[in-house]
A = this chain, B = another copy of it.
């Protein structure tokens, strides 16, 4: 089974106006049930029958809405993605007060990246990487890649303002993100280490920001 890529990711069937209209509430209920089941016990607990039971809905209805088990999984992930992009979109990008903005940015980002919500999503994606190779890219693009771009642009603005020397902003953004995450990313994902304390996180973020800022600081000043 080479695994078909769904033709349309955003599956907007025209919807004929005839007959009984679909119950939007049921759809939400099923999605909510799916999320609940998944967060409680991982992918293993995410079954069609389980969703039907939990959502108080006929099994056939679940099939009518999501077609497949893969379809259900896909729906859960895409819903999660929408939430994720919303979170990342909201990150502050004030070009003045560079240091403070970067620290703020880093804190918010790391708060999200160490949240149970995010970790659970990542774990699911990791376990699905082989079965559904199309899932990874759409998350990575709109998540990590977009965030890195945003951060690089922020640094670029600072260069244009004269707050930083000319440098490879993209590289600096990657380095910053790397240092923020530290080497514990995988540890967190596999449950190998505890979520870092807020204080330690803040220290890590500030150190990294200072490291980058001092390295690319304009000629005159020296911290």
Q: Mark A151-190, 1 if CB is under 8 A from B, else 0.
A: 0000000000000000000010011011111111111011
Whether, in the assembled complex, A4 has its beta carbon less than 8 Å from a beta carbon of chain B, the answer is: no
Pick the residue among B128, B129, B137, B187 that contacts A144 (CB under 8 A).
B187
Report yes or no: A131 in contact with B44, Cβ–Cβ below 8 A. yes
Whether, in the assembled complex, A198 has its beta carbon less than 8 Å from a beta carbon of chain B, the answer is: no
Whether, in the assembled complex, A56 has its beta carbon less than 8 Å from a beta carbon of chain B, the answer is: no
Whether, in the assembled complex, A192 has its beta carbon less than 8 Å from a beta carbon of chain B, the answer is: yes
Interface size for A (C-beta < 8 A) is 49
Q: Which of A123-147 contact B (CB under 8 A)?
A: 123, 125-131, 133, 135-137, 139-141, 144-145, 147
- Answer whether A215 and B211 are a contact pair too, CB < 8 Å, given A127-B126, A183-B148, A186-B122: yes
Q: Is the interface of A mostly helix, strand, loop or mixed?
A: helix
Report yes or no: A139 in contact with B211, Cβ–Cβ below 8 A. no
Nearest residue, chain B, Cβ from A42: B130
Known: A42-B127, A125-B190, A135-B190. 4 other contacts (CB 8 A): A44-B131, A130-B191, A137-B191, A189-B189
What is A's interface to B at a CB cutoff of 8 Å? 41-44, 122-123, 125-131, 133, 135-137, 139-141, 144-145, 147-148, 171, 174-175, 177-187, 189-193, 204, 207-208, 211, 214-215
